[in-house]
Structure 1
Amino acid sequence: MLRTQEAVDYLLWLSCNADDSISNLKLQKLLYYAQGYCLAKLDKPLFDAPIESWQHGPVVKEVYHTYKTYGNGSIPCPKFFRLKKYRVQEREIMDEVYSIYGQFSAWTLRDMTHEEPLWRETRDGEVIGTARLREYFMTKVKTRPVIVQAEAKGWDEIASEVLERRHKLWEKLAKV
């Protein structure tokens, strides 16, 4: 299991290498999806911090407080990053989550989590337990996300951008 900051650093690194920006809100949603996918696929948590239900969706409280000074602006890339410290399974989970959900804006991700039963059935400030996360994501990992709010782009354009990002990421990973 990773320390929470290690999961954060990897997601920030993916974002920076895809020439994308990531806000605290978007980071929170990516952490939520990464934790859920890991629990469903590997039957263990990806990182060690709890996820709480907040007004704008699932939040890792300690991460929120670490990056709240950035407001809705971009969080910078990690200064010291070592890809080799991550296990292949951990990287694959976060790569998959980023390739699926990283394309969406922070507010689209927020809207998506608001449509999910885990957030709707949990009171503000309540921890969403790992057992509930695993149970919910077991039904989700084999399907693509349901988009609540349509983006202005067409599906073919979005698919093209995702493939291009993935290609750029693999080129950069090959250099590491």
Structure 2
Amino acid sequence: MATFKDVARYITEQHGQLTAMKLQKLLYYAQAWNLVWEEEPLFEDDFQAWANGPVLPSLYAMHRGMFKVDASLFTDGCVDALTDVQRENIDRVLSFYGKQTAQWLSDLTHQEDPWCNARGDLMPGEASAAVIPKAALHEYYSSL
């Protein structure tokens, strides 16, 4: 199975330099839609329902303190670990979500059940390490 680093490298090679927040959201949507279309995850790591939307803590640890990131951050990522179908799915996600701003993507996640349900009754801006279950991603995005 591919890792989040493999997917992040592929996204940054295809999209070019982008904000760390936008990369987080693109990985989230790539994971969600791959779960719907292939009924399997792209990578094992789970997203958490942070205040600004879904965040992969392992990715955050890599880009902490950076505003923009590019493929050079993911030298240990290997795009060859992705299947042709996975690349096509990521490309489909990039063709729709890739043209949006990081804030637009964050706002969108705030309107969707997986993030909202994982946060529960937390106040806006309140910290959370609540996991967004892959099953919740599959269920919600399958219904769209």
TM-score range, shorter chain: 0.7 to 0.9
- Aligned with 1:64 (options 30, 55, 60): 60
- Displacement of 1:122 after TM fit? 1.3
Equivalent position amino acid for 1:24 in 2: A
Which residue pairs with 1:54 in the alignment? 50
TM-score in terms of structure 1 length: 0.71
CA distance, structure 1, for counterparts of residue 82 and residue 115 of structure 2 = 29
Which residue pairs with 2:21 in the alignment? 25
Which residue pairs with 1:136 in the alignment? 140
* Secondary structure at the counterpart of residue 96 of structure 2: helix
CA distance, structure 2, for counterparts of residue 93 and residue 28 of structure 1 = 17
1:79-103 Cα offsets, whole Å, 9 max, x none, are 7576544211110111011111000
Unpaired runs of 5+ residues, structure 1, are 141-176
Unpaired runs of 5+ residues, structure 2, are 120-127
Structure exhibiting the larger radius of gyration computed from Cα positions: 1
Equivalent position amino acid for 2:71 in 1: C
Q: 1:29 to 1:50 in 2, by over 3 A?
A: same
TM-score in terms of structure 2 length: 0.86
CA distance, structure 2, for counterparts of residue 110 and residue 100 of structure 1 = 15
- Aligned with 1:77 (options 67, 71, 81): 71
How many residues end up aligned between the 2 structures? 134
- Displacement of 1:137 after TM fit? 1.2
Percent of pairs with identical residues: 31
* RCO comparison, higher one (Cα < 8 Å, 6+): 2
Deviates more, 1:75-84 or 1:111-120: 75-84
CA distance, structure 2, for counterparts of residue 135 and residue 10 of structure 1 = 26
CA distance, structure 1, for counterparts of residue 135 and residue 81 of structure 2 = 27
CA distance, structure 2, for counterparts of residue 64 and residue 6 of structure 1 = 15
Which residue pairs with 1:14 in the alignment? 14
1:10-50 Cα offsets, whole Å, 9 max, x none, are 1111112xxxx311110110011001001111000011211
Which residue pairs with 1:120 in the alignment? 116
Which residue pairs with 1:168 in the alignment? none
